Structure 1
Amino acid sequence: MQHALDSSALIAPASPPPPTSQTPTTPVHHWSLDELAGRICELGFDGHTQRLSFTTGLLREAQEQGQPTAWIHTGEGLFHVPDLVAGGIDPGALPVIRAPHGIAAARAADHLLRSGAFGLVVVDLGTHCDLPPGMQSRLAGLARHHQSTLLFLTRPAAHGRPGGKPAVGSLGALISLRAHGTMQIERPGYFRCALTATRDKKHGPGWTREEVRRGPAGLC
């Protein structure tokens, strides 16, 4: 069961119950392509969180706007194509580039951003997060210049450590928005996915977005 949860996306957002004071939500525009345009972002996830749960919305939004998208992947465990289709994504319009390590993935992202053709580039780094600050700075500059969104997916989730030092798996201070994804069972077949901003240079940290999503057919 754990393996299935780690390798599949949660699909089909359900209608969540009204938020309580303990579970604040953020307006949709905080996590949207328009708000993230020109920024370099990081979404941290752990073994209980689906990395596609909050990424598919951005991919779908970009495709609906006619903006080219790309996915750069390191390591194993690539997403399942049926999960993308269930999330409203056209997999034929999402080229996938495999990279052996984080540096190669960042170089691929550099080429894509430099072209100015891509509205959203997702880089699934996993634990390959040792990117030199100079490389991150160039990527941030390219994203800003072309008003593209560069989203890094990292694992383990990025939480701050004592003394303000970034956690293992965190890309550091050049990230404009860093968020941590979590997931818990809401009811049979449904999962509550939460996205919490731990760093946001535009709106400030601390906001949370929650969605209740239906799991793939094999989990329901």
Structure 2
Amino acid sequence: MPETKVLIVEDEDALSTILEYNLAKEKFEVAIATDGEEGLLKVEEFGPDIIILDWMLPKVSGIEVCRRIRSKPETRNIPIIMLTARSEEADRIRGLETGADDYLTKPFSTAELIARLKAILRRIRPGLADDIVEHGDISIDRVSHKVTRGGKEIHLGPTEFRLLDHLMQHPGRVFSREQLLNAVWGSDVFVEVRTVDVHIGRLRKALNKYKQGDAIRTVRSAGYALDVK
């Protein structure tokens, strides 16, 4: 299978260098553009599978780059992750409404960015999905449905496996019970919201079987996140 192409449009040299290094380690083919005009040119020349796009760019803004990509039939379906120092909800909504598929506020974890990038690729192109996903000392094998932590096998039920798989795709991100219900059970299935707590409890207990520390973080009034070092 050919390497997946990632275009980074970012004017901070230090950040783009770090991202390029880490994405190359994950076997992605990477191209870099340092302003909006170059970014639009590279979209045509490089033909990326996914774009990491900074909001604040010289010459043409990230929002405008996103808008132009979405306006062309040949590029409108390329997924875009926006990076920005803006954290206000209105700005996040504006970025998503312009056509971004996901949104990360600086500073962010490179591991989280790569996990979100892979999650988007899995969603739109199942053939690009990794059979094995790792974060911290936890590893999931999607083919054999095996989970290990610190090299020791962890036995999970099917629902707990799907919960962990979803959380592993977005390490550190907090999900409400409703979001987890939709992602794991599906929006067309009626399940009590408190059911999430039961399965999170089972998952938490299983992952801590060998006393390696609680991998699930509870955020009061917000939900749950995978929090593994």
TM-score (norm 1): 0.38
TM-score of the pair, normalised by structure 2: 0.37
Give the structure with higher Rg (CA): 2
Higher share of residues assigned strand: 1
